[in-house]
Amino acid sequence: MDGNGRWAKKRGLPRTAGHSAGADAFRKIARYSHKLGVQYLTVYAFSTENWKRPADEVAGIMALLEKYLLQALRDLEKEKIRICIFGDLAPFTPRLQTLCRECMERSSIYTGGQVNICLNYGGRDEIVRAAQKWAAEGCPALSEERFGSYMWGGSIPDPDLLIRPGGEMRISNFLLWECAYSEFYFTDVLWPDFDEAELDKAIEAFRHRQRRYGDVG
């Protein structure tokens, strides 16, 4: 979900206002994806590298997270979306950690759609942790499938489509293991402006991709 800061700057607003608009965009897209029947939506909300940002911006993002989780808890029964958090929650405040765990536990009964929120997430960090989990289990025989099951998402399917808004054309440490055969869609649209019509466009582009997985097709 990239481009919040630039969106705010264009309007002469503080970066946190961009993050707030970004949170609104996320809520809208999560609801719309669910309506479209998307089974898994994974969003990159905060990376292991984002801690380098100025303290007031990090604090602003944390406050928005808390607001989002409280709202999600309140709307659980209406939305019926399962919420999972990918990432190590240890550096977050106890309050935020509790909210995350409560969201995950209380939404785990819903099976019609899952939103994965990547918090303090890094793709390389995820792979290193997977290796550590594997080692902790005594290094059982490995396959790609088995190793994949040590990722935050367990054995959920790999993403079919990866969308990066905000104009940059890089992966920035997102789902490195899982994106091996994902289709990539880049757009200059800044995340707070990414709406239902933009998601339709991305899905339409995806429909025209030919997926060969290394075969001749």
**Interacting residues with ligand IPE (CB under 6 A):** 1-6, 22, 46, 50, 61, 166
10 Å CB burial of residue 85 (0-12, 13-18, 19+) is buried
Shortest reach from residue 8's CB to Mg ion, in Å:
12
For Mg ion, which stretch binds (CB under 5 A), given 1-9, 24-32, 119-127, 174-182? 1-9
Contacted entry of ligand IPE, Mg ion, none for residue 46, CB cut-off 5 to 8 Å set by kind: ligand IPE
Burial 192-206, CB ≥16 within 10 A → b, else e: bbbeeebbeebbeeb
Q: Which of the choices ligand IPE, Mg ion, none does residue 192 contact, using the CB cut-off of 5 to 8 A by kind? A: none
φ, ψ for residue 186 (rounded to 5)?
Answer: -110, 140
With contact defined as beta carbons under 8 Å apart, do 45 and 118 qualify? yes
Q: Which residue has the closest beta carbon to ligand IPE? A: 5
* Spatial contact of 6 and 80, defined as CB atoms under 8 Å apart: no
**Binding residue for Mg ion, selected from 2, 125, 126, 178, defined by CB under 5 A:** 2
CB of 166 to Mg ion, least distance (A): 6
Give catalytic status of residue 125 as yes or no: no
**DSSP state letter for 192:** G
Nearest CB to ligand IPE, comparing residues 3 and 87: 3
1 close to 45: Cβ distance less than 8 angstroms: yes
State the CB neighbour count (10 A cutoff) for residue 45: 23
Nearer to ligand IPE, 76 or 115 (CB): 115
Residue number with CB closer to Mg ion (2 or 198): 2
* Residue 198 interacts with Mg ion (CB under 5 A): yes or no: no
Report CA 155 to chain centroid distance, whole Å: 16
Catalytic choice (4, 24, 50, 88): 50
Choose the one of ligand IPE, Mg ion, none that binds residue 153, judging by a C-beta under 5 to 8 angstroms depending on kind.
Answer: none
Q: Is 2 among the residues known to form the active site?
A: yes
CB 192 within 8 A of CB 22: yes
Helices (H) and strands (E) in the chain, counts: 7, 5
Residues marked active site are found at 2, 50
Q: Which residues bind Mg ion (CB under 5 A)?
A: 2
